[in-house]
Amino acid sequence: MSPLRKLFDFAAQYQIKSTIHGPEDISPVGMAAAIHLGLSIHNFGIQEYAGYTDLTHSVFPHACTFTDGHLHPGQAPWLGVDLDEELAAAHPYEPSYLPLNRLQDGTIHDW
């Protein structure tokens, strides 16, 4: 987080607002870090948030909430995210690719 914070501080000198990518494939750990980072900088612009499945919320219990269009970090210590290791082991990660730019053999083509 420190290098990104330094980058945002540099951008603030030129009145450039921050924006942090937040698709569903970034775990709640990464999202919590992004929320805390956004709260710690002066040039916060926007935070993308795609939401998570119920299973993801169960595997990564977290204090962060999304209410009335706002992300709240919660009151838990550190980033406020835990890991249910038994539930995670029952659902191993399966990588997936955008079908338009990555073929099943891993090659990439222009979309």
pLDDT of residue 110: 63
| Beta-bridge partner residues of 81 | 62
Residue 111, pLDDT above cutoff 60 = no
Is residue 39 within 8 Å of 64, Cβ to Cβ?
A: no
Query: Structure tokens of 92?
Result: 């191993």
* Overall pTM > 0.85: no
| Residues 6 or more apart whose Cβ sits within 8 Å of residue 36 | 1, 73, 79
Averaged pLDDT for residues 14-36 = 91
pLDDT on residue 1: 76
